[in-house]
Amino acid sequence: MQHNGQDNTELQQQAAAQAQQIAKQDTEQAAWAAMQAQQTASNVQQPQSGIMPMPPIREKRRKKSSAYTAYYAAPKADAEMQAPPVQSKKKRSWKVVAIIAVMLACMTVGCIFGVGVIAPLVYGGGYDNDLSDIWEDWEEEMQAPVIKEDDYPADPSISQIGGEAPVISNTVNPVPEIAAQLRESVVGINAYETVEEEQQLISRGTGFVIHADGYILTNFHVVASGSAYTVSFDGQEEEYAARFVGGDATMDLAVLKIERTGLKPAALGNSAETQVGELAVAMGNPAGADANLTGSVTVGYVSYVNRQLSYNNSTQSFLQIDTAVNPGNSGGPLLNAQGEVIGVVTLKSVISSYDEYGQAINSEGLGFAIPMDIAGQVALSIIQNGSVKRPGIGILFYFLDVDKAAEKQLPQGALIDEFMAGSTAREAGLEIGDVIVRCNGVQVTTQQILVDAIARSTPGDLLTLTVWRNGEVKEFNVVVGDMNRMVTY
């Protein structure tokens, strides 16, 4: 294959070296960030266990420090093409940053976004300070995406979810009436795993009733690591066994089912009509003060609507809020002044950036909720059809336009930088450093050409990808997989 009108051994060697260098740059950036984060760890207090003893949790979690811009096959932001500061004495992969950041945040699951840390709000008790064996285990752990099998049959007969909005008489301060009337609809969720034939609590979050027959919506990361679940209502001692109806790991949503009828579903509002400055009330079960603070209510405002964040290898829309949310709030409702659910509380920003000395600068008042319009559609689909399937081939790439390709002496196309766990592209034989130049015979002149081709497919379809590798052109038939079986929690 000719490249910029030339075809010689020297150019091929240069191109190969460039591809390897690009693939290394993000690892170097992450290693530097890991060193900076590690310097601040001594200033963070270890969280205390609440209610019952819980074992230390080895994190095997989240994603790379980058701003992905699409679903299915995730292209990387231009900023990541820049060379990172070289300050780390020992290079470690980006996965290390996720571990340290998660521990700083005292969360079970963590997600890096930009230079800051955004973490899901699920409480998992204490953590282990000894990281000595994590470096060796990490690569193996990353090869095991979270795959949960549905444990309750789909019910296509259910066509509607949500209940009636509460009657609010005091419009000046509606919060007390909202708290009182939604109390029956908000639940605590415990996830357990079997350790030496005993059930041990591994995470705790929040959920809310969306159907009178026992259907409950929460975050996927609340239940991701569990094999058994219980649901509790504020003011009631009894806990109810719950079954996993299905989930959408990419969108971080899951539905559980308990064997109860006559429940009071929360009213689902129209998040598309939400405006900046509106009241934002969070209800949930945060952990703190060495206790599970069941039924906590916090109040704030909507700071931004349609905030685009990189999460689970895709760019997703969130409601940004300044309402106080903490570990344990994950999966709980975000309510407007009418007592309607406008979002599912999911994330908070823990660290905003680092100062010139490498010390962490904490974030304040940066929480994020999945808009209810999106969450409602996903939840109803799960109830009717089971877990959501999303087409993908499990690659993260830089897109090389004409100018970048010329600068890097590579062909125009999608330069593969990383594979997700369970990537079907990797299984088909593609490698890091390959440049995808054609998809189903169509030249990849924009990143959207590749993304749209995958988005239009369904799991099980075949894509023919033409790639450039070290000066040679190769062709691969790649089976489209389910992105929700490639997400690692």
Nearest to 434, CA basis, from 474, 409, 401, 469: 469
Catalytic residue status for 3: no
Specify the DSSP element, H or E, that contains 194.
strand 186-195
Residues 17 and 11: their CA atoms lie apart, in Å, by: 10
CB 335 within 8 A of CB 307: no
Half-sphere exposure of 346 (CA within 13 A, CB side): 29
Six-digit token string for 395: 């690659």
Torsion angle defined by CA atoms of residues 62, 68, 74 and 80, in that order, rounded to the nearest 10 degrees: -100
Catalytic residue status for 252: yes
Phi, psi (5° rounding) for residue 306?
A: 60, 40
CB 430 within 8 A of CB 476: yes
Strand pairing category for 341-354 and 367-371 = antiparallel
Nearest to 205, CA basis, from 136, 141, 284: 284
CB 339 within 8 A of CB 124: no
Catalytic residue among 221, 314, 423, 457: 221
Helix axes 94-105, 134-142, angle to 10 degrees: 110
- Report which residue type is found at 178: I
Residues 345 and 378: their CA atoms lie apart, in Å, by: 15
Six-digit token string for 6: 């030339």
CB 221 within 8 A of CB 253: no
Sign of CA dihedral 10, 12, 18, 21: negative
Catalytic residue among 330, 349, 387, 457: 330
292-307 core/surface letters (b: 16 or more CB in 10 A; e: else): bebbbbbbbebbebeb
Q: From start to end of 355-460, where are the E strands?
A: 360-362, 367-371, 391-392, 395-400, 413-419, 435-439, 442-443
Catalytic residue among 26, 248, 252, 482: 252
- Report which residue type is found at 434: D
Give the bridge partners for 398, in sequence order: 76, 415
**Alpha-carbon distance values, 118 to 103, 283, 328 (Å):** 12, 20, 15
Residues 451 and 453: their CA atoms lie apart, in Å, by: 6
Enumerate the active-site residues: 221, 252, 330
